């Protein structure tokens, strides 16, 4: 265990400046984006009178969710794909692979940073902005609006489930590809999705027609309704990641 | 001891580099690994360190397959690659972070080595020059308790005084339990350190002998004549001809390793037959 914590400490020491600046950057980004959308993009929301009149302030929670979902998938995907940079160049790879720790400890330490820690930090950030939004719009918010905010937050949980699967794929490719893992992994995943869609398109009769976009629509609906099935597959990706790194380490 | 047995290796979709390679590297010895560019020196170093996996055959460190990547084996390995990587930490932070992983690290020895190589303890590693980074990593490698040190071109980017210090540092820190393998093109810079030399040519080990053995079996004659009847190999160096000959008359001479290297790459069979006798 001490080796595992030593790896965690190493990653923290090596990347803490990036973590801090990233966190501050995200705070500023979320604040600016939510303010920008609320005051400039949504009609009539800049007038307090109208806002209070048409319960538009309730949209504040939908607005808040947008940057968080974006950060979850874009920043989370990039962080996971980069593997905190440890496999990027040959010299870095040698430094990391020759660290006296087991393959499992190394994979686990990266997993911990890119999934649980990242998601927890993001949830805490969301809760902070959620409370901030309530505090800033206290005069206009009705119990109905607050309930709506809660409902939207629960929808966020659905995104987290999808991210869980998304992370598993990005994590696997981050070890599989040495360089440009985000791009290569994205292309491979897209190609896989498209091939699967083509196969389904040729073999399954869908109610709404037989064009490829209908198949893709059904696939997306299936993913949305059966995320838990994909979540169950994700641990297989983690195990595969372990073996990919084991092969790479020797 | 590192044992290499019948190793075949090729990079994916590339021609074979090693075929049925056998090699034995003993504890308490410093090996110089020589070879022309592209002959497989760095690949062999990576294979020996377990950074590449052979297609077939085995590479063992003290009878444990290096491919198993056991933590106990990994902590015995230090690999100084030609392209260095250091993290954006200060020397103190680096040591405090890495000593939890390298549990055998001798901090006192590390700071002593660092001072000897004139690296400031408060330096930020990424702000050091390439040569200084190498010196830092070398200080770390010699103090981290690794049994097997693989040094790929360790003297490149070092200034002249540092090259001298490198030799002294390795000699002072070397323990009989360790094995050091140094791959280099600058053989004369480290020749005084070496116990054995291994010459690699087109994926084949053309020569693997002790330095003492070289001086017993071969001799170097210098004169102003280009032709020397018994010469295995002749070179013109610094205004005179150097002739490498078989030492049948117990001549006491110093053989420049560059002369030997060129002779081996030119006439591998002749040299090899001399050492077999």
Here the CATH number for the domain that contains residue B86 is 3.40.50.300
**Which secondary-structure segment (H or E) carries B217?**
helix B211-217
pLDDT by 10-residue block (mean), chain B, 277 residues: 91 88 92 88 90 90 84 88 86 91 91 92 90 92 92 86 89 91 86 90 86 87 79 84 86 85 86 81
- What Rg do the C-alpha atoms of chain B give, in angstroms? 20
Q: Distance between CA atoms of A172 and A235, rounded to whole angstroms?
A: 11
CB atoms under 10 Å from CB of A223, counted, come to 14
Domain count across chain A: 1
Nearest Cα of chain B lies from the Cα of A244 at a distance, in angstroms, of 13
Residues B67 and B127 in one domain: yes
CB atoms under 10 Å from CB of A99, counted, come to 20
Residues on chain B touching A95 (C-beta within 8 angstroms): 85
Cβ proximity of B214 and B191 under 8 Å? no
Q: B114 in a domain, yes or no?
A: yes
Own/partner contacts of A128-136, CB < 8 Å, gap of 24 or more, are A129/A30, A129/A31, A129/A34, A129/A64, A129/A68, A130/A61, A130/A64, A133/A34, A133/A60, A133/A61, A133/A64
Q: Cα–Cα distances in Å, from A105 out to A4, B18, B146? A: 5, 32, 20
Residues B197 and B153 in one domain: yes
Residues on chain B touching A244 (C-beta within 8 angstroms): none
Q: B207 in a domain, yes or no?
A: no
Among B184, B202, B220, the domain-final residue is: B202
Cβ proximity of B50 and B73 under 8 Å? yes
Query: Residue A224 pLDDT > 80, yes or no?
Result: no
Give the pLDDT confidence of A164-187 residue by residue, as tens digits.
989 999 999 998 887 788 888 889
Alpha helices, DSSP H only, in B27-156? 41-48, 71-74, 91-98, 107-116, 130-143
Cβ proximity of B21 and B7 under 8 Å? yes
Cβ proximity of A7 and A104 under 8 Å? no
Residue closest to A95 by CA, chosen among B58, B89, B10, B34 = B89
Alpha helices, DSSP H only, in chain A? 2-36, 48-54, 60-70, 76-82, 90-97, 103-112, 118-136, 143-176, 181-203, 212-225, 227-249
- Per-residue pLDDT band for A51 (boundaries 50, 70, 90) equals very low
Q: What pLDDT shows up at residue A86?
A: 81
Residues on chain A touching B90 (C-beta within 8 angstroms): none
Q: Distance between CA atoms of B203 and B143, rounded to whole angstroms?
A: 32
Closest residue in B to A12 (Cα) is B97
Residues B71 and B179 in one domain: yes
Give the pLDDT confidence of B188-244 residue by residue, as tens digits.
888 888 999 999 888 888 889 998 888 888 888 888 777 777 788 888 887 888 888
Q: Is the pTM of this model over 0.90?
A: no
| Residues of chain A in Cβ contact (below 8 Å) with chain B | 2-3, 5-7, 9-10, 13-14, 17, 89-92, 94-95, 97-103, 246-247, 249-250
Q: B22 in a domain, yes or no?
A: yes
Domain count across chain B: 2
Q: What pLDDT shows up at residue A50?
A: 43
Q: What pLDDT shows up at residue A239?
A: 93
- Per-residue pLDDT band for A52 (boundaries 50, 70, 90) equals very low
Would you say the ipTM is above 0.90? no
For residue A241, give its domain range.
2-249
Q: Distance between CA atoms of B253 and B251, rounded to whole angstroms?
A: 6
Q: B247 in a domain, yes or no?
A: yes
Q: Distance between CA atoms of A230 and A226, rounded to whole angstroms?
A: 7
Among B202, B231, B256, the domain-final residue is: B202
Q: Is B88 an 8 Å CB contact of chain A?
A: yes
Q: B259 in a domain, yes or no?
A: yes
- Per-residue pLDDT band for A115 (boundaries 50, 70, 90) equals very high
Cβ proximity of B118 and B132 under 8 Å? no
Residues B38 and B168 in one domain: yes
Residues B106 and B168 in one domain: yes
Among B179, B202, B225, the domain-final residue is: B202
Q: B112 in a domain, yes or no?
A: yes
Structure tokens given for B152: 């790929």
> How does the average pLDDT of chain A come out, rounded?
81
Closest residue in B to A9 (Cα) is B97
Left, alpha or beta for B182 (phi > 0: left; psi -120 to 50: alpha)?
Answer: beta
CB contact under 8 A, A10 and B101: yes
Interface test with B, best of A17, A98, A105, A108 (most B CBs within 10 A): A98
The string of DSSP letters for A137-166 reads TTTT--HHHHHHHHHHHHHHHHHHHHHHHH
Residue carrying structure tokens 């103090």: B143
Diameter of chain A by CA atoms? 67
CB contact under 8 A, B101 and A91: no
Residues B18 and B51 in one domain: yes
Q: What pLDDT shows up at residue A57?
A: 53
Partners of B235 in the β-ladder = B242
Query: Residue A39 pLDDT > 80, yes or no?
Result: no
Q: Cα–Cα distances in Å, from A2 out to A15, A116, A124, A240, B239? A: 20, 20, 28, 25, 62
Residues B17 and B129 in one domain: yes
Query: Residue A136 pLDDT > 90, yes or no?
Result: no
Residues B171 and B76 in one domain: yes
CB contact under 8 A, B74 and A7: no
For residue B272, give its domain range.
212-276
């Amino acid at each position: 265990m001490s080796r595992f914590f030593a790896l965690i400490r190493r990653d923290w020491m090596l990347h803490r400046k990036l973590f801090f600046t990233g966190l501050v950057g995200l705070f500023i980004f979320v604040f600016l984006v939510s303010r920008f959308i609320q005051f400039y993009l949504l009609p009539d929301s800049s007038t307090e009178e109208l806002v209070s009149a048409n319960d538009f302030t309730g949209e504040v929670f939908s607005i808040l969710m947008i940057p968080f979902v974006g950060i979850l998938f874009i920043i989370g995907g990039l962080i996971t794909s980069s593997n905190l940079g440890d496999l990027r160049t040959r010299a870095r790879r040698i430094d990391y692979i020759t660290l006296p720790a087991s393959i499992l400890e190394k994979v686990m330490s990266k997993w911990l940073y890119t999934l649980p820690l990242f998601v927890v930090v993001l949830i805490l950030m969301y809760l902070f902005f959620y409370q901030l939004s309530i505090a800033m719009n206290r005069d206009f918010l009705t119990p109905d609006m607050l309930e709506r905010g809660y409902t939207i937050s629960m929808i966020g949980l659905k995104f987290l489930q999808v991210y869980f699967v998304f992370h598993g794929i990005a994590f696997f490719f981050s070890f599989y590809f040495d360089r440009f893992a985000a791009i290569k992994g994205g292309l491979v995943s897209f190609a896989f999705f498209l091939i699967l869609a083509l196969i389904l398109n040729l073999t399954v009769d869908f109610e709404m027609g037989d064009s490829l976009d209908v198949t893709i629509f059904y696939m997306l609906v299936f993913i949305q309704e059966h995320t838990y099935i994909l979540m169950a597959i994700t641990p297989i990706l983690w195990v595969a990641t372990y073996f990919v790194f084991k092969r790479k380490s020797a | 001891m590192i044992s290499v047995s019948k190793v075949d290796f090729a990079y994916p979709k590339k021609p074979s580099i090693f075929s049925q390679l056998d090699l034995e590297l003993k504890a308490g010895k410093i090996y110089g690994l020589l070879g022309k560019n592209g002959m497989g020196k760095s690949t062999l170093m990576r294979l020996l360190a377990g950074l590449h996996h052979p297609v077939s055959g085995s590479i063992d460190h003290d009878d444990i397959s290096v491919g198993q990547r056991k933590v106990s084996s990994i902590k015995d390995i230090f690999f100084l690659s030609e392209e260095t990587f250091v993290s954006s930490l200060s020397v103190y932070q680096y040591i405090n972070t890495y000593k939890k992983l390298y549990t055998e690290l001798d901090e006192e020895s590390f700071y002593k080595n660092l001072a000897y190589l004139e690296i400031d303890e408060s330096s930020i590693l990424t702000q050091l020059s390439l040569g200084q980074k190498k010196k830092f990593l070398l200080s770390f490698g010699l103090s981290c308790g690794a049994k097997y040190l693989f040094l790929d071109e360790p003297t490149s980017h070092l200034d002249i005084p540092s090259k001298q210090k490198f030799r002294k540092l390795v000699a002072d820190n070397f323990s009989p339990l360790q094995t050091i393998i140094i791959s280099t093109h600058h053989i004369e810079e480290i020749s005084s350190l070496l116990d054995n030399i291994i010459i690699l040519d087109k994926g084949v080990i053309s020569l693997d002998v002790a330095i003492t053995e070289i001086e017993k079996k071969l001799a170097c004659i210098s004169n102003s004549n280009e032709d020397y009847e018994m010469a295995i190999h002749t070179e013109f160096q610094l205004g005179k001809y150097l002739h490498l000959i078989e030492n049948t008359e117990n001549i006491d001479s110093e053989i420049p390793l560059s002369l030997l290297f060129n002779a081996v790459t030119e006439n591998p069979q002749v040299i090899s037959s001399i050492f077999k006798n």
